[in-house]
Structure 1
């Protein structure tokens, strides 16, 4: 169990679920709801697990990758992205499932999440792979998987101040 692989697998699953929803435009709201609920939980729990486990370790070991000057810069940007994703989730949830407004909000969520994943894969995950031992990656991978399993029913999500987060973990 490697935290980098666990995160990449989650990213794949997120992309798969957005693709599934793309194929469900003609479905009833009652069919869309469970798929949306699972995606929402996956996105929220994944972000929280990264904030609890991955980013503190990245800030301790990382030096910057993908054009970022430091692990702190990578992390600050990622926390900002998580807030955008949380806000987009709230926007989707504010509209009747399956309405045009819901689909429009879903497209914005998909874009925000896709941009974040691509950036994280170029920056934070690359930086971590280059500096973390396999033992640490394994230990954090187990912890990440346990965290996600423990919160499979969902969590209460809230925005985090990126500057305060980085300052707390420096």
Structure 2
């Protein structure tokens, strides 16, 4: 159980859920709400797990990758992205499922999340893969999976100050 593989697997599942929604135009609101609820939980719990488990270790071991000068830069950008994703989730939740505004919010969220995942895969995950031991990657992978299981019903989303987060973990 490698933390990098666990995160990549989550990214794949997030992409799959957005693709599923893309195929559901015209579906009953109750069906859209069911898929949306599961996607929202996945996004929120995944972000919180990264903030609690992955980024502190990345900040300790990382050197910077994918065009970033340091792990702190990677983490600051990632936390900012998480806040943007949380804000987009709130926007979707503010509209009835299936309404034009709801679909516009889903599209905005998908774009923000896709941008974040691409950056993270190119930067933080690459940096961590290059500098973390297999033992640490395994231990974190287990912890990440357990965290997600414990919070399978969801969590209360909460924006995080990227700058304060980096200061706290430096």
* TM-score (structure 1 length as normaliser): 1.00
- The residue number in structure 1 matching 2:81 is 81
Q: Which residue of 2 aligns with 1:91?
A: 91
CA RMSD of aligned residues (A): 0.2
Between the aligned partners of 1:61 and 1:30, the Cα distance in structure 2 is 45
Q: What are the equivalent positions in structure 2 for 1:22-37 lying under 5 Å apart?
A: 22-37=22-37
Whole-angstrom CA distance in 1 between matches of 2:51 and 2:121? 16
Paired with 1:34 and 1:105, the residues of 2 have a C-alpha distance of 16
| CA offset digits 1:38-97 (Å, max 9, x no partner) | 000000000000000000000000000000000000000000000000000000000011
- Secondary structure (helix, strand or coil) at the match of 2:77 reads helix
CA–CA distance in 2 between the matches of 1:144 and 1:127? 18
Aligned to 2:11: 11
Distance in 1 (CA, whole Å) between partners of 2:142 and 2:158 is 25
Q: Distance in 2 between matches of 1:155 and 1:104?
A: 24
- Alpha-carbon distance in structure 1 between the residues aligned to 2:167 and 2:87: 23
Does residue 1:67 correspond to 2:75, yes or no? no
Give structure 1 regions of 4+ aligned residues with deviation exceeding 6 angstroms. none
Aligned to 1:58: 58
> In 2, distance between residues paired with 1:33 and 1:105?
14
Matched, 1:130 2:130: yes
Kindly tell me the number of residue pairs found equivalent between the two proteins.
170
Q: CA deviation at 1:26?
A: 1.1
| CA distance in structure 2 between the partners assigned to 1:124 and 1:15 by the alignment | 19
* TM score, norm. by length of structure 2: 1.00
Ranges in structure 1 where 5+ consecutive residues have no aligned partner: none
